[in-house]
Structure 1
């Protein structure tokens, strides 16, 4: 069996490789891909096969997928370019005769109005049209989206545009473990998993930071346009700020709230909670 993991130089891809190893998959049956293979030297040192692959270079993908039984397709990070890049991945996977494609998507990708959802929806449609057996892992937000902001929260409070919308965020490691469970298990082909942890509103995030830090931290809810201005003033590029603010808009409308317990079912336990993550980070 050969499991190919794209994006292994990224946070999620690397964690998926590690989860596969932890589940007892022999290192020689795991292929870790990335544009800069020097960043995969530690995995190579553990016996994992390392190959170069670039979503913009179809030939590199065809070579990297050779012999693959299963493909862990971690979505690209270049928003606005991903449809064309992902088409390259799908075409190469079909040419290689991959037996199962596992794709990291976004919650409710088929109906979501989020800016980020459009490329995921198009990719899901391309995978289905390809005829390849597949699994869609519709990951909600990462807890790690919030944890690096703790110093800012403690100094300035939490700002956002999500209202009372609930966000089913979970740790990257839990999403990675779910992916590894699918890759090493049976009966997952052509299924869609909506993945998320225990939901919280941003006001609850602020309250939890207050409780654990002993400092008063409030939540300021802003109109989407004003939140974009705040993010730009903080140094973020306009386009990135708009995507982040749009995520909050979607959260306010329930688009990041995952009602199903697919994540807990796949990993066999409750996902890491917001309170546990904040405790560890503080």
Structure 2
């Protein structure tokens, strides 16, 4: 029996769909959700729904009984992610879960000096908690989603261009669906215990290269400006962007600039059994109709 946490989110739903498409009976899949009302589409597919909250330990132990493989899709709660995940791992151990899989993140700098330590710190802590639990594990070091690129570029990218302090450094962006399919493939096969997988694209590409590609797709030159982080924060703050979003964009941009997501080591192609979707292919799908 396979249980997916965060099952009403993009990654959880996509993983479940891939499991079903690959022939796993819906009766062998359990979806953990906080709000059952948001899981009607999963119910319609025959998925067993368990209601649980990362802060409610008893709800987790009840949901995890009889589960062989548990996919812990990382919580979106940056403030208390580690505490939530600690509950999940402890409950999994108490319930006798045989294998825990975790969606972590690609990174190079594991110290507090990382510009995205507010994200990576809890991922590293969670990995350590999982390993210390003694439960056989698989950790996915997921790179940045290509799906996030349009958000980084902005809704008015075709009119106003791109203003991001990423410099010329590349990152191995990959689509969320490719990552979810690779995860599904691991869930339905054997030999993945106590392994870390790098889930990155086979190509590294920079934001200015993405902008040039986008210009070719829409038939219009899109400008790209890479300010200093200080100028970016000042400009975006004056433009009325909420502080938390300014900090997030600035942090991830600086992490890209420092090479946190550039890598030539990836297991994604092997786990998929094919080449991952490229940045060019992704951009064509998003922007080709906007010519």
Q: TM-score normalised by the shorter chain: which range applies?
A: over 0.9
Which residues of 2 match residues 20-169 of structure 1 at below 5 A? 20-108=19-107, 111=110, 113=114, 114-115=116-117, 116-148=119-151, 149=153, 151-169=155-173
Give the root-mean-square deviation of aligned CA atoms: 1.6
Task: With the length of structure 2 as denominator, give the TM-score of the two structures.
Answer: 0.92
Aligned to 1:199: 204
Secondary structure in 2 aligned to 1:137? strand
Deviates more, 1:168-177 or 1:231-240: 231-240
Structure 1 runs (4+) deviating above 4 angstroms are none
Contact 1:174–1:271 (CA under 8 A) maintained in structure 2: yes
Deviates more, 1:32-41 or 1:5-14: 32-41
Shift in CA distance, 5/222, structure 1 to aligned 2, threshold 3 Å: same
Distance 1:233 1:12 in 2: 34
Post-superposition shift, 1:231? 3.9
- Conserved 8 A contact 2:108-2:260: no
The answer to whether the aligner puts 1:261 opposite 2:260 as a matched pair is: no
Q: Tell me the alpha carbon deviations over residues 215-268 of structure 1, each in whole angstroms, 9 at most, x when there is no partner.
A: 111211121222233444455432332132111111112111131131111011
SS across alignment from 1:146: helix
Q: Is the 8 A contact 2:100 2:137 kept in 1?
A: yes
**Which of 170, 182, 190 lines up with 2:194 in the alignment?**
190
1:223 maps to: 228
Structure 2 gaps, min length 5: none
Partners of 1:225 and 1:57 in 2: CA distance: 41
Residues 28 and 47 of structure 1 are in contact (CA less than 8 Å); yes or no, is this contact kept in structure 2?
Answer: yes
Partners of 2:267 and 2:282 in 1: how far apart? 20
Task: State the alpha-carbon separation in 2 of the partners of residues 245 and 22 from structure 1.
Answer: 38
Aligned-partner SS, 1:33? strand
How far apart in 1 are the matches of 2:275 and 2:184?
16
* CA contact 2:165–2:227 (8 Å) conserved in 1: yes
